Amino acid sequence: MAEETRGTVLVALLANVGVGIAKAVGGVVTGSSALLAEAAHSVADTLNEAFLLLSLSRADRPADRTHPFGYGKERFFWSLLAAVGIFVSGAVFSIAEGVSALTGDPEPTSTEHFVVIYAILGVSVVLEGGSLLKALRQVVREAASAHRRLLTYVVRSPDPTVKTVASEDSIAVLGVLVALAGTVLHQVTGSGVWDGVSSIVIGALLAVVAFLLGRDTKELLIGEAADPAVRLEAVRVLAAERAIVRVQEVLTMQLGPDGVLVAGRVQFDEALTALQVEEACTRAEEEMRRRVPTITQVFLDPSSVSASADAAARERWAVTEREAQQLLDPDAPAPAVPQARTRVGRGLRAGAGSGR
């Protein structure tokens, strides 16, 4: 998976380098604001792909004394910087260029200039489209393996790398089409206003994508819970363990795209010895990892759990089960309470039955 992700990012990086150079040269030669805005977009995307490649190598480092849970969250940090880069290097520059085109003196244009612009935009569609198809193929495969619809998977995926590339390439293709429309209107009407308007539209699109990517990555950075499907499997394992009589709560946290921490407060049968409690903890941890390989850390706290706390936990589990079922079945009824903004559990088995 990591190698496929690295390949997707490399394809996007190479495409953006080539497209960015062509757009920048064409923008300077023709004075097209839309083309310059698209060049800024490509520069931002190129820097972001460099950030994402760096995150892949840094996140692969093994856990050590100072980072006992590993470096998986490096992926989230560098993806957040990529979102900031999209906003600063892409959105701000594009909007500023558009405003400048609307308020400044129009640049003289000729038929030759428009031919250059169309040629560059045509090449851009081909390169950006190829990169987008590569990212989409990976996302579609991952969504199918997670038994999720494509849009649901993209929105909820804990892997920000491929999502960032797919989002960038989608907006890149859309941005080229916007620039093309602005150029056509500029040529037909003879007014450079359309060139400036298209630049502002491109900047607005980039700002929206930057906000959404930044928001999602921020949630992961500050300790977002695992997907409802992952939480539900952890709960089912504890509920099925014969040595556990009550469960107060099960807490989860995404440690990285491929790592989840599970912590639970449970009450064991009082007749058990310390060795039997230890064996029960081991069984529960091994079963969780068997069902969901991305669960990498499991901590169980033997506690005294009241009947009311156990009943409240069961109610929460019922909500989690409905959330998980809704993700797998779009026609399922919505949960009775607002859903948490959690993401995909790739290890969920398609045929998992209902549990407590």
For the chain, the three-class secondary structure string (H helix, E strand, C coil) is: CHHHHHHHHHHHHHHHHHHHHHHHHHHHHHCCHHHHHHHHHHHHHHHHHHHHHHHHHHHCCCCCCCCCCCCCCHHHHHHHHHHHHHHHHHHHHHHHHHHHHHHCCCCCCCHHHHHHHHHHHHHHHHHHHHHHHHHHHHHHHHHHHCCCCHHHHHHHCCCHHHHHHHHHHHHHHHHHHHHHHHHHHHHHHCCCHHHHHHHHHHHHHHHHHHHHHHHHHHHHHCCCCCCHHHHHHHHHHHHHCCCEEEEEEEEEEEEECCEEEEEEEEEECCCCCHHHHHHHHHHHHHHHHHHCCCEEEEEEEECCCCHHHHHHHHHHHHHHHHHHHHHHCCCCCCCCCCCCCCCCCCCCCCCCCCCC
Cα 123 from Cα 182, distance rounded (Å): 17
CATH classification of 228-328 is 3.30.70.1350, yes or no?
A: yes
pLDDT in tens, 173-222: 888 888 889 888 888 888 878 888 888 998 898 888 889 889 889 999 99
Question: Does the structure show a pLDDT above 80 at 71?
Answer: yes
Confidence band, pLDDT 50/70/90 cuts, at residue 284:
very high
- Quick one: tokens of 111? 């038929």
Contact 217, 160 (CB under 8 A): yes
Please give the pLDDT value at position 354: 35
Q: Cβ contacts of residue 212 below 8 Å, gap of 6+?
A: 167
Instruction: Give the number of other CB atoms < 10 A from CB of residue 351.
Output: 6
pLDDT for position 338: 35
Quote the tokens at residue 43: 């520069």
Tokens 């556990």 sit at which residue?
A: 244
In whole angstroms, how far apart are CA 342 and each of 159, 189, 209, 274, 300?
Answer: 12, 48, 19, 36, 22
State yes or no: pLDDT of 35 exceeds 80. Answer: no
What pLDDT does residue 106 have?
Answer: 65
> So what's the architecture of 2-221 in CATH?
Up-down Bundle (1.20)
pLDDT tens-digit readout, 291-326: 999 999 999 999 999 999 999 999 999 988 888 887
pLDDT recorded at residue 110 = 66
Name the segment(s) of the chain with CATH classification 3.30.70.1350.
228-328
- Which pLDDT value is given to residue 191? 82
The pLDDT value given to residue 147:
78
Distance (Å, whole) CA 238 – CA 247? 8
Per-residue confidence (pLDDT) for residue 195, from 0 to 100: 82
Is the alpha carbon torsion for 344, 347, 351, 353 positive or negative?
Answer: negative
User: Is the CB of residue 75 less than 8 Å from the CB of residue 160?
Assistant: yes
Q: Which of 34-48, 69-83, 196-210 has the lowest mean pLDDT?
A: 34-48
The more confident residue out of 347 and 143 is 143
Helix axes 2-30, 33-59, angle to 10 degrees: 160
pLDDT at 73: 93
Q: Name, in order, each residue with C-beta under 8 angstroms of 59's C-beta and a sequence gap of 6 or more.
A: 70, 71, 72, 73, 74, 75, 256, 257
pLDDT digits (tens, 9 = 90+) for 237-265: 999 999 999 999 999 999 998 899 999 99
Tokens 């994402």 correspond to what residue? Answer: 52
Give the model's pLDDT for residue 68. Answer: 93
Most confident of 39-53, 295-309, 338-352: 295-309
pLDDT for res 250: 94
User: Please, where in the chain does CATH 1.20.1510 lie?
Assistant: 2-221
Q: What is the pLDDT of residue 158?
A: 86
Write down the pLDDT at residue 240. Answer: 93
More confident residue, 300 or 25: 300
The reported pLDDT for the residue numbered 348 is 36
* 320-342 mean pLDDT: 57
- Rounded Cα gap, residues 281 and 292, in angstroms: 16
Q: What is the mean pLDDT of residues 83-103?
A: 83
C-alpha 27, offset from chain centre:
32
Q: How do strand 259-268 and strand 244-256 relate by DSSP bridges?
A: antiparallel
Mean pLDDT over 85-107 rounds to 80
Amino acid letter for position 194: W
Would you say residue 339 has pLDDT above 90?
A: no
The answer on pLDDT for 332 being more than 80 is no
Q: Across all residues in the chain, what is the average pLDDT?
A: 83
More confident residue, 281 or 85: 281
In the predicted structure, residue 330 carries a pLDDT above the cut 60: no
Q: Report the percentage of the chain scoring pLDDT > 90.
A: 30
